[in-house]
Chains A and B, each alone.
Chain A
Amino acid sequence: MSLSGGPTGASALRGPDPHRGGQLTDVLLAPPTSLVSAADRDAARDRIVTALVGSVGGRPEGPERTVGLPVLIQRARDQPVPTDPEESFTWKPAFVRRSLGLATVEACLERRFRWPAEAVGPVADRAVAEWQRTGWRTFHWEPWFAALSAGARAAVLAEASAWATTLWSALAWRRFPVPPRLGGSDDQWVCPSDRTVRLRGRCEVRIPLVGQAAAGHAPPVVGTALVSLMSGHPPAAGGEPELAFLALVSALASPTRPVPSRVAGLWLHAGEHRVVEVTGELLVEAASRVVGAAASLADEGSGDAVGPA
């Protein structure tokens, strides 16, 4: 396993690229240093399935417990695990910023717009127009957004614009040889030995990693790097298994796809990032963290408060 990171750009400004996101992007795009086998994935899966039967399987059926990255991080810090909010769900700008922000960055990546600040309004308008035309809600918030007044809309757009601009500034998007996938549905996996335990992995960017191209051929995709945007600040030390959790859920949710080779956590508000290379050993360690979190959630009767995508 390896982990690189620290305050972003601490050494990123010495090279020819004046853009700190350039060096982070290079780290993300580097060829994978290890490949995780199917046997590694199975070992991690077995760790969860057998342990959860022992620790919580005998308990009476209860509410579903969702283990996500926030739970694991809080647990690693010995901090209270967030609980599901009691009040009924209502839309607000913070719930829209991720999906609208990602669509905004995607519009820039596809060169439909040059900058997030000029893209966010048209992207939102287009989503609403599509919903009005087809009835299909790509983001779910379209009817709510459409009914907002100008002042409320501006608050939503401002939130998404700032979020998207921060993400846009963090990476050198033009360097990706294969366009990354932005957003998408969360990876989910329900533990077969205790079906009240659900693993949910959310990442913002999935970057295809390409190898050397043979003459006359496009370079082959040899792996995937997952990028997750985090709030707060990274742990002072450690944190590798928690980040590898995202690769674990992806591997369990899609057993026919290769296990992601790399996971990056970006704490953009803190200006920090961590990058881990995923190994079989790290996957099993992540599985152990899941077991511990599921057991403690069973005791506390809580889980990740998962907002809308």
Chain B
Amino acid sequence: MAPLDTDTRPGLPAEAQGHAFPTRDDRPPRVRTGPGSGAGHRPDRDHAPTAGWIPLAGEALLDRLRITGRPRPMADPERADRLRQCLEDGIGRVAPRTGLPLLVTRGNLTRALSCGAHRMPGGVEERPFSLPLAIGALMEVLFRQLVTTGALGDPMVDGLDGLSVDGRRAGLVHWIGRLSYGDRRALAGEVRRQARGLADRWPALDPAWLPRTQEPMRVALGGGAVELSTRVDLAIGRPGLDVASVGIVEITSGARRPEHRDELAFSALLETLRHPAPPFVVATYYTRSGELDVEPVSEELLTAAARRTVAGVQAMLHNGQAGGPAGDPAIGGGARQGGACAGCTVWGPVGG
């Protein structure tokens, strides 16, 4: 589980550039107000992880993202070179030179490193449609709408319209349209609940922080034989300054899983490789509960991400791109040790 960063001391160097995702002192006072925007927000007891726990909202949520309690990393081209070299050594020299590059995403990395029992089918488009997948897609669209326009209407209407306008989601929209009355009602209820939490808690982002939704990141390795690729739900702050100024946020509608931290680290790695300054923070926001897991970006996190990427790609190459090793009986893939799988990092029931 990603550790929550509870240190909120403002002991950070103030950013001189107006475009950086600012520290507390130079924050414009633009936060959305309304029910649930302050510390007195009544927790949603059905979904809060701990009784009495109150999800962060408004300025407090922003502070949690901005203030990691650690100095923001400096730009360091040598760091990027080191990480790239690690990847090139592990991946670039073994990847086959075929016409099309081997596409490495955070999803297929996780899949390659999962045991057979927990290996998810392909990407989002390849997974069988389900209510959780539909909720995730709708919340992704609604978060983007909230960041861009600052407002949500009827979440189901807006969400479906947002999905419909993107032809790639036509299959999912069609599937939702064919749901039974009960399933559709359940879907709408959960989407409305999560959207209300999102709208109540997420502050308006100042345009000067250069918010970018669904930002693609790509890094080529091995002379183009391998392409690391991801797309982050939200990037804030101007890239390429002397001091790390970019924060990356992923939105997740499901339960907290250990691989979320690894996937965030993958995004941090790609941002570091394409700009000399890494992001200073990566975070996952759980729309189901309002939890915000914040991870300050460090050398250790980036190095671990590079090593995991090498291991994942090697597994992909060894076993074919479809996935990693089948559940290894020697390590008991699918067997449980506490809540976690003994064969891989997945925390959850077999098949999920």
A→B interface (CB under 8 Å): 7-13, 18-21, 77-80, 90, 92-93, 114-118, 120-121, 148-159, 161-162, 165-166, 168-169, 232-237, 267, 269-272
B180-206 residues at the A interface, CB under 8 angstroms: 205
Q: List 29 A-B contacts (CB under 8 A).
A: A13-B241, A13-B277, A18-B17, A19-B241, A20-B240, A20-B275, A77-B99, A77-B224, A80-B100, A115-B210, A117-B205, A118-B207, A148-B161, A150-B149, A151-B159, A154-B149, A154-B162, A156-B165, A159-B214, A161-B212, A162-B215, A169-B238, A232-B227, A234-B220, A235-B224, A237-B223, A269-B218, A270-B217, A270-B219
Query: Of B148, B216, B276, which is within 8 A of A10 by CB?
Result: B276
Flag whether B39 is at the interface (Cβ < 8 A). Answer: no
Residues of A within 8 A of B165 (CB): 92-93, 148, 151-152, 155-156
Flag whether B273 is at the interface (Cβ < 8 A). Answer: yes
- Inter-chain CA distance A148–B162, complex, in Å, is 10
In the complex where A20-B239, A79-B99, A152-B164 touch, is A271 in contact with B145 (Cβ < 8 A)? Answer: no
B→A interface (CB under 8 Å): 16-17, 19, 75, 77, 80, 99-100, 141, 144-145, 147-149, 153, 157-162, 164-167, 205, 207-208, 210-220, 223-224, 227, 238-242, 273-277
4 nearest CB pairs, A to B: A271-B274, A151-B158, A20-B240, A151-B161
- Inter-chain CA distance A114–B210, complex, in Å, is 11
- Inter-chain CA distance A166–B159, complex, in Å, is 25
Residues of A within 8 A of B207 (CB): 114-118
Residues of A within 8 A of B217 (CB): 269-270
Contact A7 B161, beta carbon cutoff 8 Å:
no
- Inter-chain CA distance A12–B149, complex, in Å, is 34
Residues of B within 8 A of A21 (CB): 240
Query: Of B100, B141, B227, B238, which is within 8 A of A19 by CB?
Result: B238
In the complex where A92-B165, A150-B153, A168-B210 touch, is A155 in contact with B276 (Cβ < 8 A)? Answer: no
- Inter-chain CA distance A234–B224, complex, in Å, is 9
- Inter-chain CA distance A251–B7, complex, in Å, is 59
Residues of A within 8 A of B164 (CB): 152
Report the nearest A residue to B277, measured CB to CB. A13
In the complex where A149-B161, A151-B159 touch, is A18 in contact with B242 (Cβ < 8 A)? Answer: yes
- Inter-chain CA distance A206–B218, complex, in Å, is 26
* A-B contact sample (10 more), CB < 8 A, given A20-B240, A154-B149, A161-B148: A7-B275, A7-B276, A13-B241, A19-B241, A153-B149, A155-B144, A158-B148, A233-B218, A233-B219, A270-B220
Contact B238 A158, beta carbon cutoff 8 Å:
no
In the complex where A18-B242, A92-B166, A158-B214 touch, is A149 in contact with B158 (Cβ < 8 A)? Answer: yes
Contact A13 B220, beta carbon cutoff 8 Å:
no
Query: Of A18, A150, A233, which is within 8 A of B161 by CB?
Result: A150
- Inter-chain CA distance A282–B101, complex, in Å, is 28
Contact B141 A155, beta carbon cutoff 8 Å:
yes
Residues of A within 8 A of B219 (CB): 233, 270
How far, in Å, is B154 (CB) from chain A's closest CB? 9
- Inter-chain CA distance A272–B276, complex, in Å, is 11
- Inter-chain CA distance A10–B159, complex, in Å, is 40
- Inter-chain CA distance A271–B278, complex, in Å, is 12
How far, in Å, is A118 (CB) from chain B's closest CB? 4
How far, in Å, is A271 (CB) from chain B's closest CB? 3
Report the nearest B residue to A148, measured CB to CB. B165
Contact A114 B239, beta carbon cutoff 8 Å:
no
In the complex where A7-B273, A13-B242, A154-B148 touch, is A236 in contact with B161 (Cβ < 8 A)? Answer: no
Contact B211 A165, beta carbon cutoff 8 Å:
yes
- Inter-chain CA distance A150–B216, complex, in Å, is 24
How far, in Å, is A108 (CB) from chain B's closest CB? 10
Query: Of A92, A166, A237, which is within 8 A of B215 by CB?
Result: A166
Report the nearest A residue to B225, measured CB to CB. A236
- Inter-chain CA distance A114–B160, complex, in Å, is 32
Residues of B within 8 A of A120 (CB): 148
Contact A11 B275, beta carbon cutoff 8 Å:
no
Contact B274 A151, beta carbon cutoff 8 Å:
no
Residues of A within 8 A of B240 (CB): 8-9, 12-13, 19-21, 169, 271
- Inter-chain CA distance A235–B227, complex, in Å, is 12
Contact A8 B166, beta carbon cutoff 8 Å:
no
- Inter-chain CA distance A18–B238, complex, in Å, is 11
- Inter-chain CA distance A152–B163, complex, in Å, is 8
- Inter-chain CA distance A9–B276, complex, in Å, is 7
Report the nearest A residue to B208, measured CB to CB. A115
Contact B274 A270, beta carbon cutoff 8 Å:
yes
Report the nearest A residue to B276, measured CB to CB. A9
Residues of B within 8 A of A166 (CB): 212, 215
Report the nearest A residue to B158, measured CB to CB. A151
Query: Of B75, B145, B238, which is within 8 A of A151 by CB?
Result: B145
In the complex where A20-B239, A92-B167, A158-B148 touch, is A13 in contact with B274 (Cβ < 8 A)? Answer: no
- Inter-chain CA distance A149–B152, complex, in Å, is 12
How far, in Å, is B351 (CB) from chain A's closest CB? 32
- Inter-chain CA distance A78–B223, complex, in Å, is 13
